[in-house]
Structure 1
Amino acid sequence: MTTITDEELYLNAEVLKGKVVLITGASSGVGQATAVSFASYGAKVIIGDVDLAGAKHTVRECLRVGGTIGSDAMVQKCDVTSWEEQVALFEAGYKKYGRIDYVIPNAGIVGDGPLALSKRTKDIPNKPDTRTIDINLVGVIYTIKLGQHYLMKNKPLGPMAIIFVGSMAGNQGFPRAEIYSATKHGLIGLCRSLTEDYRAQGIRTAVVCPWFVDTPLIKTDNRVILAGAPFTPINRVAGAIVCAATDPNWETSGASYNLPDDGPVMRTERHELSVGVYKILTERINTLIKVETTINRYMNIVSDLFMLAAPHLTIVAFVLPILAYWLFTRWMNS
């Protein structure tokens, strides 16, 4: 485990100048603070959110802090549970800026009510509300699927990252917020499972897991329970996301950046099970990924060379029959 000071969070942030970051759920809270942090280092920011008024305020803040150094920002209304709206978001951002370098699937909600029953009842319980899963997990899956596609369209590629916004509730079960906790556990699982595939494509990944941050997501009953407990500073969470995205060290890709209280960020490097069949399975999967990536890389090179040569091949295909006919007639007349 590595402790990261606030100064170290922005150690590599200068690489953001001129880069393009897409963030979902940036109308307030962590998403807004993260968007502004990226913009303050010269990044162009694409914001997708259902709250257009809040997102437009974030755009103004991005321009305020980074407008003089080349930053820009745009917003498009986007419900992350809609695949079509996410496609439209990525298309709009790519059309405006010509590339996307960093993707932050931040949109999320806490959800309503506990899953566990507090007492016996005669009646059949109400159907659980799974909207939290739709937003926190399914929506993120949509974002990262599209994110990888658009990152790989970049020419030249350059530094790229997909950074998940998790929670300490993803490291530790959280009573009375079971579905929320399950979604955040799921994000950690996604990050760990995708690390090697992403690495093979030159894409960093990590998951940032804060404790409670003082944002509109925290409801009154939660505030009562948390009375006297420190909140995690929102700017430190944003800094952790910037750090996770810009760190050039590939050994930290797939790591968890934990903020368990109001103290510094603690990075836990990704680990793999190395007992029993897990070591063999991991080695085989990683080898398969490397072989597949190598084949795809060479196929892309061949495809690019063919595209470059295509105009000349057309000329050759036109000239060769004429040349062959000329040689044939010469031979016949000789």
Structure 2
Amino acid sequence: MALKDYLQQHNVVDMIKQSAPVDVSAPYNPDNVSGNTVVITGGASGFGAAFARRWASHGANVIIGDINDTGGQKLVAELRASTGSQDHHYQHCDVRDWQSQVSLFQAAARLSVSGGIDAVVANAGIRDMTPAATGLGFENPYGLDIERPPPPELKVLDVNLTGVMYTTHLALFWLAWNDPARDRHLLLLGSVASFLPLSGQVLYGTSKHAVMGLFRTLRGSSWRQGVRINMVCPYFADTAIVPNSGHSLVAGCGLAAVPDVVDAATRLMADKSIVGRALVIGPRLRIQEGREGEVGLVAPGTAEDGKPIWECYAHDYESVEIFSKQYLRLLNTLVWMRGWAGWFKDMARIWVWKKDRTA
């Protein structure tokens, strides 16, 4: 068998409903988020707050969960004042606490104008507070030769991984529970650290790699719940999660612009045809002209240099191993059988109803 024939036989893109590659230069209509109820974890600041402002300005109803009560309440008051809508809400939520997230989702469904949740953004995240350069942190263990040494501090994993897993699990339930006629979207927040090593940030890099694994795996089956899943992976950006030392370390290369991250996320949120895609958002760069025969230097760019947004991990399901192919075929068969079972059940109910009417 020719290689191309083998690869084509193991292409399951259609099976998982994955959409075509994203054309980031094509226009999209951000007003498509109007009327949607959007839950954003960690939405009181950073990317979450920027998402909330953008989507609320286009008519979305935003519900924010965060531990920053002052910031969250202030943001909701701002959104209500700027949009004239009272359908924006804040609820205290510690993403590490399962019951806290359960309460957030139940409140969101109750407060929703439509009675359901249309989109969820698993945005909450923190960085390692003790990087390797300090001589402390996860990769610099010490004092473990005592009788009962303490375990390492894994709060970053609790927030960035366990919290995201809680959010995703709840999202798959509440989004599927919503009206099937409405768009149902789960947006994961990754990072450049989702696919590149980030020295000195072991826990952060591990957690973001895991979120990428969650995305790559889950996009093969979320279609069963009628949920489309996408992901954004920003480079270092000017938010509170990036320390001042991070700014100095990337000096000469520049930071990703928060508006570019918001634009990429809004495209995924508003364009209902995009399914199973991940976008990377980098700094705006331009290539300086070097001397003849030399590679030009990379320098910070401007708005005229375009938006540095591109796809990553786009081709996972174009050629899969036999397990995934067989498993997805089984899922399709089960969904097909469930559909026919529902049809026969409906026919039986109609027959019984007619029989009762003529009795």
TM-score bracket, normalised by the shorter chain, equals 0.7 to 0.9
Aligned twin of 1:89: 104
Aligned twin of 2:290: none
Equivalent AA in structure 2 for residue 283 of structure 1: K
Equivalent AA in structure 1 for residue 109 of structure 2: Y
Mean Cα displacement is larger for which, 170-179 or 54-63? 54-63
Q: Sequence identity, in percent?
A: 29
Aligned twin of 2:324: 282
CA contact (8 A) 2:255 2:282 kept: no
What is the CA distance between 1:75 and its match in structure 2? 0.7
Aligned twin of 1:246: 270
In structure 2, the CA distance between the partners of 1:230 and 1:289, relative to structure 1 (3 Å rule), is same
Q: TM-score, normalised by structure 1?
A: 0.81
Equivalent AA in structure 2 for residue 264 of structure 1: P
CA contact (8 A) 1:39 1:72 kept: no
> Equivalents in 1 of 2:173, 2:345: separation in Å?
18
Note the 1:106-117 alignment, pairs <5 A. Answer: 106-113=123-130, 114=132, 115-117=138-140
Aligned twin of 1:294: 336
In structure 2, the CA distance between the partners of 1:307 and 1:76, relative to structure 1 (3 Å rule), is farther
2:73 to 31, 56, 65: 56
Query: In the alignment, does 2:273 pair up with 1:256?
Result: no
Aligned twin of 2:31: 14
Aligned twin of 1:182: 206
CA contact (8 A) 1:3 1:267 kept: no
Secondary structure in structure 2 of the residue aligned to 1:60: helix
What is the CA distance between 1:53 and its match in structure 2? 0.9
In structure 2, the CA distance between the partners of 1:130 and 1:62, relative to structure 1 (3 Å rule), is same
What is the CA distance between 1:308 and its match in structure 2? 9.2
Structure whose residues are more often helix by fraction: 1
Secondary structure in structure 1 of the residue aligned to 2:198: coil
Aligned twin of 1:327: none
Note the 1:4-43 alignment, pairs <5 A. Answer: 4-5=24-25, 8=27, 11-43=28-60
In structure 2, the CA distance between the partners of 1:274 and 1:242, relative to structure 1 (3 Å rule), is closer
Residues 231-263 of structure 1 show CA distances to partners (whole Å, capped at 9, x for unaligned) of: 1111211221121223233xx422220012234
CA contact (8 A) 1:27 1:51 kept: yes
Mean Cα displacement is larger for which, 259-268 or 90-99? 259-268
1:46 to 63, 75, 91: 63
Mean Cα displacement is larger for which, 41-50 or 11-20? 11-20
Note the 1:297-312 alignment, pairs <5 A. Answer: 297-298=339-340
Note the 1:47-196 alignment, pairs <5 A. Answer: 47-67=64-84, 72-97=87-112, 98-113=115-130, 114=132, 115-117=138-140, 127-196=151-220
Asked which structure has the greater CA Rg, the reply is: 1
What is the CA distance between 1:204 and its match in structure 2? 1.2
> Number of paired residues?
307
Aligned twin of 2:296: none
CA contact (8 A) 1:106 1:164 kept: yes
Aligned twin of 1:220: 244
What is the CA distance between 1:41 and its match in structure 2? 1.1
Structure 2: 5+ residue stretches without partners: 1-20, 133-137, 285-306
In structure 2, the CA distance between the partners of 1:163 and 1:228, relative to structure 1 (3 Å rule), is same
Residues 194-221 of structure 1 show CA distances to partners (whole Å, capped at 9, x for unaligned) of: 1121123321111100011111112233
In structure 2, the CA distance between the partners of 1:216 and 1:76, relative to structure 1 (3 Å rule), is same
| Aligned-pair Cα RMSD in Å | 3.0
CA contact (8 A) 1:100 1:154 kept: yes
> Equivalents in 2 of 1:101, 1:273: separation in Å?
26
Aligned twin of 2:8: none
Aligned twin of 2:287: none
CA contact (8 A) 1:258 1:266 kept: yes
Equivalent AA in structure 2 for residue 260 of structure 1: G
In structure 2, the CA distance between the partners of 1:109 and 1:156, relative to structure 1 (3 Å rule), is same
Aligned twin of 2:315: 271
Equivalent AA in structure 1 for residue 326 of structure 2: R
